[in-house]
Amino acid sequence: MNDATVTVIGFIAHDPHFQVLDSGMSLMSLRVGSTPRRYDREIGQWRDEDPMYLTVNCWRTLADNLQGCELKRGDPVVVTGKLRIREYTKDGQRRLNAQVEATTVGHDLSQGVARFRRSQRSGAGLPGDRRQADDVADRWLEDDTSDDLPDTLPTQSEARPSEPGEPGEPGEKEETDEPTQFRTAA
């Protein structure tokens, strides 16, 4: 198949939504934000550009594993999966919604540490599951989350301080002795 595979580095924009579908298959839907950062030579500083928000659907074992790792709003993540563009109508206008059918999701380890634990695999899904997943994903569209997100979400400059040798001021990183727990599909 000629699927468009994408990788998004960003943060959890809203607490994830976990659901077991009628077929018994697990689905986790989450909203991931990514804020591009560019160095502005005129002012000599890093500048955040407009954020982008995507709905990410995670199935089966990946959904179960993410449920077990307790992802929460603001957590830095890396998501890889198939890009899917859905067309819908809202207020009489045709709109597009970008979604990612995730194959992998994990914490962004450039922002902290994690501990890996293996898990068991689950079986295949049913055709009606995609329709249910679309209904769950539409929840984000009804909330219109991209327009009313609070100012407290981390920007790229807050989430990723300047590296040594990069232009700009080095940021401070909070350190902890406890690793973040997460599991991924094997």
Residue-level pLDDT at 127 = 60
Average pLDDT over residues 31-39: 93
pLDDT the model gives residue 120: 58
Copy the structure tokens of residue 109.
């380890």
Q: What size, in residues, is the chain?
A: 186
| Residues 72, 33, 58, 120, CA torsion sign | negative
Given this structure, which CATH class describes domain 5-182? mainly beta
82 by Cβ neighbours in 10 Å (0-12 / 13-18 / 19+) ranks as middle
Name the residue ranges covered by the structural domains of the chain: 5-182
Counting beta carbons within 10 angstroms of the beta carbon of residue 75, is it exposed (0 to 12), middle (13 to 18) or buried (19 or more)? buried
Tokens, residue 98: 């970008």
94-140 pLDDT per residue, tens: 999 899 999 999 999 999 888 887 775 555 556 667 777 777 777 77
CB-based contact 49:36 (threshold 8 Å) = yes
pTM of the model: 0.62
Distance separating alpha carbons of residues 182 and 114, to the nearest angstrom: 7
Spatial distance between the Cα atoms of 2 and 53, rounded to a whole number of angstroms: 24
Helix/strand/coil for 132: helix
Strands 37-40, 76-90: pairing is unpaired
User: Is the Cα torsion angle 168, 172, 177, 182 positive or negative in sign?
Assistant: negative
CA–CA gap between residue 83 and residue 71 (Å, rounded)? 22
What is the three-class DSSP state of 67?
helix
Mean pLDDT value across the chain:
78
| C-alpha closest to that of 153 among 17, 60, 53 | 53
For 151-163, how does the pLDDT look when each residue is reduced to its tens digit (9 = 90+)? 444 544 454 444 4
- Residue 49, burial from CB neighbour count under 10 angstroms (0-12, 13-18, 19+): exposed
